[in-house]
Structure 1
Amino acid sequence: MSDDVAEAVRGLLPALAEGAAGIDSAGAVPAKTMTDLVGAGVFRMLQPKWCGGLETDPVRFYDAVRAISGACGSTGWLASVLGVHPWHMALFDERAQRDVWSDHPDALFCSSYAPVGRLVPVEGGFELSGHWRFASGCAHASWALLSGVVVAEHGQPVDIVTALVPRADYRVENVWEVVGLRGAGSNDMHADRVFVPEHRTLRNYDVALRRGPGQKLNSGPLFRLPFGTVFSYAVTAPMIGMAEGGLEIFLTRMRDRNRLSFGGGDSTADHAAQIAVARAGSEVDAAALQLSRNIRDLYECARRREEIPMELRLRARRDQVVGTERALKAIDLVYAAAGGLAQRRGNPIERAWRDAHTGSTHAANDVESSLALVGRGAFGLYVDDMLV
């Protein structure tokens, strides 16, 4: 991450860690925390330069997400999934970008990408209706990116698009009562026959082909990366951070703790605990290093304006879902090794365990189907998936 953002994020971490239990209990990330993240520049990292964004190397963004997630899983999740949306917004028509950023460069976007909405063509655009689920951070957003199917005169589907919708045009339903990531606020959203100008829609097919009208304005390499990688890595990076944070808490507490259940003694001399932390550390490092390597290779291809080979895109998808598995394995090892230390509800290890397992249920973390796609590609078979 850039030096200024890195320093600002480091300065926030103690307060984020201190407030994590309250966020877990209240089920919401407070507005003050979001304001602090905005001030640190986290949400500008993948935003175009023309409107005050940093347009930075994406590896730095995911590094920032991991650091925040290590202190508070819910806050890290929102930093990631809200922080990736300016990248997607940069692919929209210039008019849509200016609708948002000309007056409000720090505007936040939420999303729900399942194409469950219905868009009926009308003069100048579309009439959008639908009920979307799992819109993380929607309480903090002033715009939403909502996917849906464009239907022809007789109701037959003709295209799939993502629509940019202002806060006044959709309703939030508070349904997020869950085990982990309790502060993520991944609530439902409803829209009923709201008008969406045509320039505020973006074809999913074009995004899959790494093109969009916004590239005329935003021509840098960042905006030629595959949507599937940029978005899915925003799901896995927080989980790696949660595992890192849980491991660090465990190490800190174990160094000065006696193993009372076995008559005392130095807990750090426990052979099983030593193996657990070694394995957990290796899983975390492997996940983080592979994700960073893939992003760097993709970014270098985009920088050189080369076609990104399918082999690299599939490798990136493979390492993303396996990275999720590795993060879960690491936090499971820490949770088991902590024993009674981790059982009291709300302690940082137990909370990281719940947060990571909740994050693993995201659709982008479907390990088996994703690895099957990678295997198809390895055998030379056709692969067509929005997350590759």
Structure 2
Amino acid sequence: MTLASETIFQASAVPAAAVRTRVSVPLRFPDGFTAEAEVMTFSGLADGKEHLLLALGEWEQALLDAAPGGIGPDGAGPLVRLHSECLTGDVFGSQRCDCGPQLREAVERIAAAGGFLLYLRQEGRGIGLYSKLDAYALQDHTAHTLALPPDVGPGRSEAKISVGYEPAARADAVASVVPAHEDMLARAQGLVPALRERAEETERLRRIPESTMAELQSAEIFHLLSPTAVGGFGMGLETYGEVVRRLARGCASTAWSAGHLIEHVWMLARWPREAQDEVFASGPAPLAAATGAPAGVAEKVPGGYSISGRWTFASGVMHSEWALLAAQHGAVRLQCLVPLAEVEVLDVWQTAGLRGTGSNDILAEGLFVPEHRALDWELLAAEENPGSELHLDPLIHTPMGALLNMVAPAAALGSAEYAVELFGELMMVRKVKHTAEARQADSPLAQVRYAQAYGLVGTARLHWQEAVGVVSASHARRPAAMTDRERSQYRLSLALSGEASAAAVRVVMAGSGGSVHRLAHPLQRIQRDVNVLMNHAALAGDPILEQAGRGLLGLGFTVPSF
């Protein structure tokens, strides 16, 4: 590779990439302007997309001029522009943007001075062609689209267009750089070693340690499902589920709490504008606990409602500033949004597993809830909810129940994967009493046991992916609501995934000896956590199998909430 091409390679800010082809392409624009470009393609780009580099004018001389001791008049170096692909503007000459004219002017100026144009294959700065046209459709109906930051290069899905909503207190912070799916998973995976180190502390504290919360915040984990219009990432179900699964490889309690806190941000984004202006005023990821078991009682009073009740299993309550509480008002089930400072948190979370979640009770008596912070649950849970009129993020249309069942099986799967990993390490060093082998791994029976556990985790993973696929497929259509058959498929697949995960952990524990039952050993914690997870409604086998069977046979559900 020549010095010049090496320098281009470095200028592209993707050190792992390499030039794969170089070809001369004559350019001609609609106004008759022409230029000669040397177009380069790459292998090894971080995001796997087909980004292009167009070298224009005397680019080699411009690079030499910029080098130490170069002979250029000012040492400014080559001109460089990052340009996101815009089919409507670049190709069709759309008058709704100035991308085409920007591209034309950039090529002319760069060709005159010598330099490079990086043409990024990320339509609409990463939102895709259809979503960009959706934004145009909203503009036709008087909604506005918000400003975006400049492109910053390949390897990341750049800031998405935020459409139709600008919180009153967030006008200066509505644009954000959205990480790619793999980047978000890498962030979660990077937290795993520290989560493992703090798992015992998490259990002892019966809540997530502040150091772990700080790391989750730093990694922007809670931004994952937050709408792009408020500075969040607006990512999809696949990324959400995989992040929870990876966190569970470190600590199931942390994965459980973080998973629900992420999900609750998404729930807050479904509320009307006035409520969203309050909760998103301090940033894109307000933390809220949510519980509906059992529902409290709501009485209508001037300006709103008075609610009373004791709510259990308030996951995330130890780290939240808001609480989402179910309350029954006659035949209508309401969800009430209240500041956590206005309720009492009861320290009752003493459990065998998932001890670190701190899912304590919430108590309120005669608490006033303004009208705008009380919403019919059926409206909130529906595909067409108030937030879907404010945000373009596709997941905002997903019916509420589709995400509420995802955390438990994701946490069980990640925990089982961690258990099999520990089992493999243990087998390589453990000497089993009353056997001839120097280590357990040399025993044919132990090898069979490990293969069985490994295979069960693989089965759990396939069922999990099947469930995620069923829900994700509904995002691509309107209406997004799943059919009875699809609901049966995804609930059944999640239940079978959890069952296989639990079976893998049982196989591991049966073959790991008595020492793993010491409280200091992570395998006993995994076993207890998974046992508790299997009693969650998302994984309770008997009712799920019954209702799934009815749905698959076309008999209809006898439990409406299934």
TM-score grouping bracket, smaller chain normalisation: over 0.9
Structure 1 or 2: more helix by fraction: 1
| Residue 215 of structure 1: how far off its partner (Å) | 0.8
Q: Percent identity?
A: 32
**d(CA) in 2 for partners of 1:384 and 1:228?**
16
- What does residue 243 of structure 1 align with? 416
1:101-250 to 2 correspondence within 5 Å?
A: 101-150=280-329, 157-250=330-423
**d(CA) in 2 for partners of 1:368 and 1:293?**
20
**d(CA) in 2 for partners of 1:204 and 1:287?**
32
Q: Is the 8 A contact 1:28 1:184 kept in 2?
A: yes
**d(CA) in 1 for partners of 2:540 and 2:184?**
32
Determine helix, strand or coil for the equivalent of 1:194. strand
**d(CA) in 2 for partners of 1:261 and 1:42?**
48
Match of 1:324 among 478, 491, 498: 498
- What does residue 182 of structure 2 align with? 3
Which one has the largest radius of gyration?
A: 2
Determine helix, strand or coil for the equivalent of 1:144. strand
- What does residue 217 of structure 2 align with? 38
**d(CA) in 1 for partners of 2:363 and 2:459?**
40
Q: TM-score, normalised by structure 2?
A: 0.65
**d(CA) in 2 for partners of 1:303 and 1:254?**
46
| Residue 175 of structure 1: how far off its partner (Å) | 0.5
Q: Would the alpha carbon gap of residues 23 and 103 (structure 1) be closer, same or farther in structure 2, given more than 3 Å must change?
A: closer
- What does residue 334 of structure 1 align with? 508
* 1:80 is the counterpart of 2:259: yes
Determine helix, strand or coil for the equivalent of 2:357. coil
Q: Is the 8 A contact 1:21 1:347 kept in 2?
A: no
Unpaired runs of at least 5, structure 2: 1-179
RMSD, aligned CA = 1.9
* 1:90 is the counterpart of 2:263: no
- What does residue 281 of structure 1 align with? 454
Q: Is the 8 A contact 1:80 1:235 kept in 2?
A: no
**d(CA) in 2 for partners of 1:99 and 1:231?**
24
Superimposed CA distance per residue, residues 1-58 of structure 1 (whole angstroms, 9 cap, x where no aligned partner) = 7233223222221111111122223322211211211221211111111111111121
**d(CA) in 2 for partners of 1:70 and 1:124?**
47
**d(CA) in 2 for partners of 1:58 and 1:363?**
20
Q: Which amino acid letter does the alignment assign opposite residue 332 of structure 1?
A: R
Determine helix, strand or coil for the equivalent of 1:71. coil
- What does residue 71 of structure 1 align with? 250
| Residue 283 of structure 1: how far off its partner (Å) | 2.2
Determine helix, strand or coil for the equivalent of 1:15. helix
* 1:55 is the counterpart of 2:234: yes
| Residue 115 of structure 1: how far off its partner (Å) | 4.5
Q: Which has the higher mean CA deviation after the structures are superposed, 216-225 or 186-195?
A: 216-225
Superimposed CA distance per residue, residues 295-348 of structure 1 (whole angstroms, 9 cap, x where no aligned partner) = 233223222324432211111111112222111111111111112242222301
Q: Which amino acid letter does the alignment assign opposite residue 230 of structure 1?
A: L
Determine helix, strand or coil for the equivalent of 1:236. helix
- What does residue 195 of structure 2 align with? 16
**d(CA) in 1 for partners of 2:268 and 2:490?**
22
**d(CA) in 2 for partners of 1:303 and 1:374?**
23
Q: Would the alpha carbon gap of residues 201 and 89 (structure 1) be closer, same or farther in structure 2, given more than 3 Å must change?
A: same
| Residue 280 of structure 1: how far off its partner (Å) | 2.1
Q: Which amino acid letter does the alignment assign opposite residue 370 of structure 2?
A: P
Q: Which has the higher mean CA deviation after the structures are superposed, 262-271 or 164-173?
A: 262-271
| Residue 271 of structure 1: how far off its partner (Å) | 2.9
Q: Which amino acid letter does the alignment assign opposite residue 277 of structure 1?
A: Y
- Could you say which structure has the greater relative contact order, defined with CA pairs below 8 angstroms and 6 or more residues apart? 1
Superimposed CA distance per residue, residues 39-84 of structure 1 (whole angstroms, 9 cap, x where no aligned partner) = 2121111111111111112111111111111111111111112221
Q: Is the 8 A contact 1:180 1:355 kept in 2?
A: yes
- What does residue 543 of structure 2 align with? 369
**d(CA) in 2 for partners of 1:126 and 1:115?**
18
Q: TM-score, normalised by structure 1?
A: 0.93
Moved over 6 A (4+): none
Q: Which amino acid letter does the alignment assign opposite residue 102 of structure 1?
A: A
Query: Number of matched residues?
Result: 382
Q: Which amino acid letter does the alignment assign opposite residue 333 of structure 1?
A: V
**d(CA) in 2 for partners of 1:319 and 1:207?**
26
Q: Which amino acid letter does the alignment assign opposite residue 344 of structure 1?
A: R
1:297-308 to 2 correspondence within 5 Å?
A: 297-307=470-480, 308=482
| Residue 386 of structure 1: how far off its partner (Å) | 6.0
Q: Is the 8 A contact 1:77 1:184 kept in 2?
A: yes
| Residue 261 of structure 1: how far off its partner (Å) | 4.1
Q: Would the alpha carbon gap of residues 47 and 313 (structure 1) be closer, same or farther in structure 2, given more than 3 Å must change?
A: same
| Residue 353 of structure 1: how far off its partner (Å) | 0.3
Q: Is the 8 A contact 2:348 2:360 kept in 1?
A: yes
- What does residue 357 of structure 1 align with? 531
Q: Which amino acid letter does the alignment assign opposite residue 248 of structure 1?
A: E
* 1:270 is the counterpart of 2:443: yes
Q: Which amino acid letter does the alignment assign opposite residue 415 of structure 2?
A: M
- What does residue 296 of structure 1 align with? 469
| Residue 263 of structure 1: how far off its partner (Å) | 4.6
Q: Would the alpha carbon gap of residues 198 and 303 (structure 1) be closer, same or farther in structure 2, given more than 3 Å must change?
A: farther
Q: Which has the higher mean CA deviation after the structures are superposed, 209-218 or 348-357?
A: 209-218
Superimposed CA distance per residue, residues 107-143 of structure 1 (whole angstroms, 9 cap, x where no aligned partner) = 2111112242111112222111110011122110111
Q: Would the alpha carbon gap of residues 341 and 212 (structure 1) be closer, same or farther in structure 2, given more than 3 Å must change?
A: same
**d(CA) in 1 for partners of 2:435 and 2:182?**
47
**d(CA) in 1 for partners of 2:429 and 2:515?**
13
**d(CA) in 2 for partners of 1:137 and 1:294?**
25
* 1:309 is the counterpart of 2:483: yes
Unpaired runs of at least 5, structure 1: 151-156
